[in-house]
Structure 1
Amino acid sequence: MPAKNAFYAQSGGVSAVINASACGLIETARNNRGKIGKVYAGRNGIIGALREDLIDTSKESKAAIHGLLTTPAGAFGSCRHKLKSLEENRAEYERLIEVFQAHNIGYFFYNGGGDSADTCLKVSQLSESMGYPLQAIHIPKTIDNDLPLTDTCPGFGSVAKYVAISTREAAMDVASMCETSTKVFILEVMGRHAGWIAAASGLAAEHDGDAPHIILFPEVAFNRTRFLARVKRTVKRHGYCVIVASEGAQHADGTFLADSGVTDAFGHHQLGGLAPSLADMVKSELGYKYHWAVADYLQRSARHIASKTDVEQAYAVGKAAVEFALEGKNGVMPCIMRGKSKRYSWHIGEASLKDVANREKKMPRNFISRDGFGITEAAREYLAPLINGEAYPEYRNGLPLYTRLKLEPVPRKLKTAFKV
């Protein structure tokens, strides 16, 4: 009997290192030929499985697959599609089984965040509820760093590095012009319910008076009066004020400062517009000249300045996913475990998806300064190792050289199409 094939897919917002996880997974699977057959990737995530739109990674060269290690974004395409329960939408599950059976797929690897962990958990239960043998392993990925039971999430360290560097460089720019020009600079970063990314900007400050002077976290209720007073005091003392604001900053009643009123496919509120809103507040109340920027996709796609630690961890969880599957595990996630010694170290651990799916890890209060506008030494000790090291891609003609895959489709075997 031929070895079972594997299905791999990327889900949710991509990152600078999600392809490093794909590289770790595919290279490890190739090193275990005879135990695992081919690795098929879903074009645009789980949607690729539902549409029987699979990519044959065996058609890619060894060099192309290894090139994923230094290539940003999602090489196979991603999506935001959350499977409902088996009772609510049995048709999708029956379709998955139909596709998996047709292509002899016995391993399911899903690379994503919390909602993806939920999808993977549901798929892991297919063999029991629908009588089809399938092992499902979730591979952690989220720049928000909000998955539980893992010390950090692959993708976060590189965003943290980008934000810390951008904060420092923008602050130097503002400081050089503040005498006659800009007094306030606001950088809006991602982070819906957890302020990890905003917190990382605090690494830019090494001396008293260094930016960022104010960090706004979702975990700390926004107080307009206190905020404006801090801005005014900072400008008076240093001549300028740099603010890093998490997009998920909230009022005391839990409403977002910048809620567009639109929800995405996962049911999450679409956020954006916080930076200009804060800038208008500063201008109308204090009269300061300002500039603002939104890091947006730039922060999560910046592979040119990725954290070496992050790249290594992303590769490691992809590799571990295959090893877990070969050990017969199901419904689990490889995670990053921090060593106990003062010198930073880490190793791969294991978490049950039942303890991961639909749960968020927020910033602990002892990581946020007492006044709510900065980070503590405990936060700095946690964050600093995660941005350590550089893993530059190869450059050609002044630009990073990123891999381009063939993305050859697997011939369809089913006669029926499926609408998603």
Structure 2
Amino acid sequence: MAQGTLLYAQSGGVTAVINATASAVIAEARARKVKVLAARNGILGALREDLIDTGKESAAAIRALAHTPGGAFGSCRFKLKSLEADRARYERLLEVLRAHDVRWFLYNGGNDSADTAWKVSQLAEAFGYPLHCIGVPKTIDNDLAVTDTCPGFGSAAKYTAVSVREAALDVAAMADTSTKVFIYEAMGRHAGWLAAAAGLAGQSPDDAPQIILLPERAYDEAAFLAQVRKVVERVGWCVVVASEGIHNADGQFVADAGGAKDSFGHTQLGGVASYLAGRVKEALGYKVHWTLPDYLQRSARHLASHTDWAQAQAVGKAAVRYALEGRNAVMPVIVRGSDAPYRWRIEPAPLAKIANHEKKMPASFIRKDGFGITERARRYLQPLIQGEAPLPYGRDGLPKYVTLKNVPVARKLPAWKE
């Protein structure tokens, strides 16, 4: 058995396949006879010394984790600041790692999590503690730099495209005497990848969604309303997909929920679909329906993409391998070999090139009028939603998911005062 313990933690908004990564991490570590602890509720669990012994879980439970959505060990939105500004927290974290002989730290999350893993690696180096930190990619926003795509995105993209196509059939059936405009709100603060994925639902300009609003382009209300009118007059109805992060030319979010902030310091969004519906009804007089899928986008394991599921497991397995090889401050990223046939591989990338960088939609992926995606975008997106991931169902007609025991590890340190 390798000397030391591996600590795994989940961070930020969960995805339909983040537990597939966790399953791969634990299975790979077990195969290499490495003890794995999990931090309950992300980095907070590490600070609180609230750790879980994954060795108490059966092999069958760990396998079932691969098809279970949510975050098996709990996640959190909690960002550590710089080493200078948050020194007390970093020193506490190091105390916990030492107390449990943690030599490998895997942090599974998005951009802020990559930043935390990078900072922890710097902390360990500054204190001379032998620790290998690996960032493990996850986000439905697909906005991590360097990696071609992010585990979690493909499944959310598939859910979005399928939902928009199905809803469009409903709208088309009712448009003569009822709803003329349907508005779907997709997650995406600064990058419109998920809204763009809705474009896979249709093939021609008259297919839904006929209008996609992306944060990469400033929202112009007059142009938007004119486009809605044009589509309804031509097609008879219109489906709009709007990213929650669309903003005007001054940079102000169209849907700013009272200026509230989340734990990462981000403006709380949500409500852009209802706002747009109100404007369409008031200005154009059309009957409008709208939807805010919110958590459904990231929790829909029943519509997971097989590509996404396979990549989620591949980065987990690679993260363990990199850690045990002695790599530090890196992330296993997905590198695309070709679009058709779709080929990909996993390679290590420095966290310094990923943390605090954001990948937005390239201009070449956005239609010239700003209301749709290009063929280049379609070639990029299409492979990511392909295939279905296996999912067992019970006699009650519902998916058979697993709930872990999550047996806590005995604390060795005084309680942490937050």
**TM-score of the pair, normalised by structure 2:** 0.98
Cα displacement string for residues 297-356 of structure 1 (whole angstroms, at most 9, x for unaligned residues): 001000011000000000000000000011110000000000046311100011100000
Structure 1 distance, partners of 2:146, 2:14, is 21
2:82 is aligned to 85
Alignment of 1:88-167 (within 5 A): 88-167=85-164
Alignment of 1:289-368 (within 5 A): 289-340=287-338, 342-368=340-366
1:392 deviation in Å?
3.3
Alignment of 1:10-409 (within 5 A): 10-33=10-33, 36=34, 38-260=35-257, 261-340=259-338, 342-396=340-394, 397-409=396-408
Cα displacement string for residues 78-103 of structure 1 (whole angstroms, at most 9, x for unaligned residues): 00111111111211111111111111
Number of matched pairs: 416
1:208 deviation in Å?
4.3
Cα displacement string for residues 189-231 of structure 1 (whole angstroms, at most 9, x for unaligned residues): 1000000000000000023411001000000111111100000
Contact in 2 for aligned 1:305/1:392 (Cα 8 Å): no
Contact in 1 for aligned 2:24/2:316 (Cα 8 Å): yes
SS in 1 for 2:332: strand
Structure 2 distance, partners of 1:207, 1:50, is 52
1:419 is aligned to 417
Structure 2 distance, partners of 1:382, 1:89, is 40
C-alpha change, 1:361 and 1:207, in structure 2 (3 Å) is same
Structure 2 distance, partners of 1:138, 1:131, is 20
Any stretches of 5+ residues in structure 1 without a counterpart?
A: none
Structure 2 distance, partners of 1:304, 1:342, is 26
Q: Structure 1 vs Structure 2: percent identity of aligned residues?
A: 64
Contact in 1 for aligned 2:180/2:237 (Cα 8 Å): yes
> Considering only aligned residues, what root-mean-square deviation do their CA atoms show, in Å?
1.0
1:55 deviation in Å?
0.4
Q: Name the amino acid aligned to 2:89.
A: E
Contact in 2 for aligned 1:126/1:134 (Cα 8 Å): no
SS in 2 for 1:270: coil
SS in 2 for 1:186: strand
Contact in 1 for aligned 2:330/2:350 (Cα 8 Å): yes
Any stretches of 5+ residues in structure 2 without a counterpart?
A: none
Task: Give runs of ≥4 in structure 1 deviating > 6 Å.
Answer: none
Structure 1 distance, partners of 2:327, 2:391, is 34
1:126 deviation in Å?
1.9
Structure 2 distance, partners of 1:293, 1:130, is 51
Structure 2 distance, partners of 1:206, 1:340, is 22
